[in-house]
Structure 1
Amino acid sequence: MKISLFLNRRQFLMTTAASSLLLGAGRVAAAEPIKTAGIYTVPVEQQWVSRIHNAALTAQDRGDISYSFSENVSNTDYARVIREYAEAGNKLIIGEVFGAEQEAREVAAEYPDVAFLMGSSFKEDPALPNFAVFDNYIQDASYLSGIIAGSMTETGNIGMVGGFPIPEVNRLMHAFMAGAREMNPDITFQVSFIGSWFDPPKAKETAFAMIENGADILYAERFGVSDAAKERGILAIGNVIDTQPEYPDTVVASAIWHFEPTLDKAIAEVQAGSFTAADYGIYSFMNQGGTSLAPLGTFDGKVPAPALELVKKREAEIKSGAFSVTINDDEPTSS
């Protein structure tokens, strides 16, 4: 795999395991670790899934769960893998069913004693009490990263490359756009979706086209966008994970997703025997510790002071409840 996109497999797993040990220090291990499985349609290095994977490693290291996982599972094979893990005695199954909703829910109904916590564009169904849903509602940090982007653009033209126009992606883009317009209401946006969760070459080519059309900052919802920005000498805003170490002169800021509050809530419910159908999306909110704005790092001192002052003000207001970022799940369009 390309080092510019993400850590190699061995380094990634060692890093996440080490950080998990530190995060789990001081916790009392559960007497009976919950046998837990993760099912992912992409590699665990992919940014969104990496946050789930890392949280599971953290929970395992503190003794709450015993964790195994399958990656690169196709949507057509997803139901079979769910059934295999359920038959193997797993009591908590986590993953993402965006492309296999109906099949996943049908299989979950066959195993009422297994708790399912699944990334989904749909809501929970009371008729399926063992199937809870989540989504990364990190619009709070996306909004803050938009403020920074709005203060850094010189052309007033920002390019945005996403995977699919589903609610999870749409709400982050709208929040980012709202933040940018706080600094300059006349900013224009180029918006495009590549039709894939993991196609860095396609994302890169889409970003190149936006740069040719005047964009001087890119919103990198997908891998590959920051590579285009780096090659053309412009800036990028990251999403879900902090990629600034790989792009120190390119990635200004990133909205970070922390899956730990979501998973920890599910673990507590399973331990208590009270797990039920619910929407866990709230645990991704900033006031729940589910999202944060990455440190500026190499861009410390380079972001205009008015933007930083507004970021600080809005962050405090979001955490206190005095300000709420609008959640807009409609598909965004170019302006």
Structure 2
Amino acid sequence: MKITRRITLLAAASLAAAVAVPAFAQTKLKVAAIYTVPVEQQWVSRIDKALKAAAARGEVEYVFSENVANADYERVMRQYAEAGNVLIVGESFAVETAARKVAKDYPKVAFLMGSSGKPQAPNFGVFDNYIQEPAYLTGMIAAGMSKSGKIGMVGGYPIPEVNRLMNAFIAGAKEVNPKVEFSISFINSWFDPPKAKEAAFAMIDKGADVMYAERFGVSDAAKERKVLAIGNVINTQAQYPDTVVASALWNMEPTIDAALKAVKAGAFKAEDYGRYSTMKFKGSELSPLGTFAKKVPADLVAKVQAKEKAILDGSFVVKVDDSQPKAGK
């Protein structure tokens, strides 16, 4: 396990009121994060980015541990709680029981965890990357850019957090081309680029000319085989300027900022922070077309922009479908 990098800061502005956890007036907040994968992995990199932004503003003192094995997760949580961190952020998907047990043992510490479960009173808040809205938009782009009508999708695990994005992507693609066909594969890993790459190769060999890159490695395969890719969570077009058309971006800043505000005020409580990942709160967005601005047909761009406007004004709602997506039409 590779432990802790520390960013020290100046001071935190704050409010005062005591609810579930103490208020912190005129003091920097000690915040820790626990990641089960390398910090450069898409999902956790967005959490890290948001916490580093808070650190750069002088609001928090931030430390983190990466590559933490599931068996070590509880121990690391307890170490951070004992060390005086007032907010602990992490992903508890595979360690729900242990994480919630630790939260019960430290009621004065605020826990904000990526989770498929519900909040646990008084101090276990949950969040998730509800970026199904821009995922729908990227599906529209994918179908409009595909010449074969075949799209490949490679994901980590078939869990709600992945399924809902894939299903939204599929729905968006079908709006543009109801006959589009999908190949779907899960690599059963959150970080195994070689395995994701091989899965993508297999789909491309069967005719897929656009790949949904839910995992690292897929865009590499698309680049090598000269087909297109759609990114997820982060914008990798700079690394793949002729491959990645667009991405559904996750911005964790609204979630982190809301949690920090609550902790400072002594008002942090068990609640679902998932709403802060929606486009309404600027927690997600469609990336700029960038190098593909002149390559995507104007009529397709117009359709996507109209749908984006409808999502933002509430006249169109992207369905949250957590069921495992199915291959085929």
Length-normalised TM-score, structure 1: 0.90
Residue 64 (structure 2) aligns with: 69
1:58 pairs with 28, 53, 60, which one? Answer: 53
- 1:36·1:67 contact (CA, 8 Å) conserved in 2? yes
What is the deviation of 1:28? 8.0
- 1:29·1:62 contact (CA, 8 Å) conserved in 2? no
1:183 matched to 2:169: no
Matches of residues 183-222 of structure 1 in structure 2 within 5 Å?
183-222=176-215
1:43 matched to 2:4: no
Residue 271 (structure 2) aligns with: 278
What is the deviation of 1:333? 1.2
Percent of aligned pairs with the same amino acid: 62
| Deviations 1:129-166 (CA, angstroms, capped at 9, x unpaired) | 10000000000110111111010001100000000011
DSSP-derived class of the 2:98 partner: helix
Q: Distance in 1 between matches of 2:150 and 2:13?
A: 51
Q: Distance in 2 between matches of 1:117 and 1:174?
A: 26
Q: Distance in 1 between matches of 2:177 and 2:267?
A: 48
Residue 130 (structure 1) aligns with: 123
Comparing 49-58 with 304-313, greater Cα deviation is found at 304-313
1:165 pairs with 133, 151, 158, which one? Answer: 158
Return the letter of the residue paired with 1:198: F
Return the letter of the residue paired with 1:172: L
Residue 20 (structure 2) aligns with: none
- 1:165·1:331 contact (CA, 8 Å) conserved in 2? yes
Residue 264 (structure 1) aligns with: 257
Q: Distance in 2 between matches of 1:152 and 1:176?
A: 14
Report which structure shows greater RCO (CA 8 Å, sep ≥6): 2
- 2:12·2:29 contact (CA, 8 Å) conserved in 1? no
What is the deviation of 1:29? 4.6
DSSP-derived class of the 1:58 partner: helix
What is the deviation of 1:106? 0.5
Return the letter of the residue paired with 2:148: T
What is the deviation of 1:215? 0.6
Q: Where does the alignment leave 5 or more consecutive residues of structure 1 unmatched? A: 1-12, 22-26
Please identify which structure carries the higher helix content. Answer: 1
What is the deviation of 1:310? 1.2
Residue 318 (structure 2) aligns with: 325
Return the letter of the residue paired with 1:229: A
Q: Distance in 2 between matches of 1:55 and 1:130?
A: 21
Q: Distance in 2 between matches of 1:29 and 1:304?
A: 48
Q: Where does the alignment leave 5 or more consecutive residues of structure 2 unmatched? A: 15-25
DSSP-derived class of the 1:256 partner: strand
- 1:119·1:134 contact (CA, 8 Å) conserved in 2? yes
Return the letter of the residue paired with 1:121: S
Q: Distance in 1 between matches of 2:183 and 2:146?
A: 14
DSSP-derived class of the 1:322 partner: coil
Return the letter of the residue paired with 1:41: T
Return the letter of the residue paired with 2:70: N
DSSP-derived class of the 2:126 partner: strand
1:117 matched to 2:117: no
Q: Distance in 2 between matches of 1:67 and 1:237?
A: 32
| Deviations 1:83-130 (CA, angstroms, capped at 9, x unpaired) | 0000000000001011111111111110000000000111113xx310
Return the letter of the residue paired with 1:273: G
DSSP-derived class of the 1:140 partner: helix
Return the letter of the residue paired with 1:114: V
Residue 3 (structure 1) aligns with: none
Matches of residues 68-87 of structure 1 in structure 2 within 5 Å?
68-87=63-82
Aligned residues: 310
- 1:244·1:250 contact (CA, 8 Å) conserved in 2? yes
What is the deviation of 1:40? 0.3
Comparing 315-324 with 104-113, greater Cα deviation is found at 315-324
Comparing 312-321 with 281-290, greater Cα deviation is found at 312-321
Length-normalised TM-score, structure 2: 0.92
DSSP-derived class of the 1:60 partner: helix
Q: Distance in 2 between matches of 1:212 and 1:274?
A: 54
DSSP-derived class of the 1:269 partner: helix
| Deviations 1:230-282 (CA, angstroms, capped at 9, x unpaired) | 00010000000000000011000000000000011101111111111111000
* Root-mean-square deviation over aligned CA pairs: 1.5
What is the deviation of 1:312? 0.9
1:316 pairs with 309, 312, 315, which one? Answer: 309
- 1:148·1:307 contact (CA, 8 Å) conserved in 2? yes
Q: Distance in 2 between matches of 1:246 and 1:29?
A: 38
- 1:158·1:216 contact (CA, 8 Å) conserved in 2? yes
Runs of 4+ displaced beyond 3 Å:
27-30
1:91 matched to 2:86: yes
Residue 227 (structure 1) aligns with: 220
Q: Distance in 1 between matches of 2:261 and 2:12?
A: 13
